[in-house]
Structure 1
Amino acid sequence: MTASDEKTTFPAKHSEYARMREMLRSNSSLTLGAGGADFVAVPDEVAEILDSVLSVLENGDAVAVSHRSQSLTTQQAAETLAISRPTLIKYLEQGEIPYEMRGRHRRVLLRDVLDFQSRNRIRRRERLDAMEDDVDDYRPVRDAGFSETR
């Protein structure tokens, strides 16, 4: 599968997605085999991907699988983060995301982009929680200073 190839799968009407997910989540080791041939152990990361795919299909949504190389261009990294390329460049120059120069071009590791995304989500959640606490501190007591008119 090349970087531009994408495979989309639509859910089947009568499927056993829930049963397959239960099997994936069991603590026993998962193996894969075909027609009495040798069996191969399924790695944990593959089982996690299968679980995610089955969850989406179980909800009736389609799943698209595409290839991502380990090293991304700034445009690919920006698309992964759903931000503009200039915003990504700002984060790179501020040291938020490590990068390396290859000639005149910046390259970013996918792992670093995903780490940044995770850190950003955590920071955003913490800020929202703090804002919610602040609002609770300043919220007036219900109906304080008001009198009933009816």
Structure 2
Amino acid sequence: MDNTREPAGHLSAIIAIGLLLIGLVVFGVVQQKASSHQAELTKGFEACMESAPFKQALKVPRPEAVLTNEQLQANFDAFDQMLKETGLPPIWNGKTLVPWKEFHKSSIEFASQCHGQLGIDQPQRQLKGTYAKPVWDPNSSIWRQTD
């Protein structure tokens, strides 16, 4: 009788290990598909963001090319003041300095449109890399505090 129990115990262990390995393979395949989908969404989102209007603002002349020395000094002073008030450096939009959050808010509005086009409703979970950060999520607490 002892001989019949031992093979049954081994058989149960072999079946359990086999099921565990099958489970791990299935889990790996599902994770790979999810990661692939996430990468595709991120690539689509990046392509959409390339057409954003705020991208053009980064191609405008630098302030030193279009301002006098006095105007530059006034902008340096305004830069320092905005940095002290907000803790974030302002952005030159080609004409004036704009607080970072105000400038970035337009990119968030555009990002929201891209999310809608791509069917993204949870960017922090559905996108990869930089675009998965809360600052790119129109629904994150960062943007709800400034409204």
Same fold (TM over 0.5): no
Structure with the largest fraction of strand = 1
TM-score (norm 1): 0.23
Structure with the largest fraction of helix = 2
TM-score (norm 2): 0.23
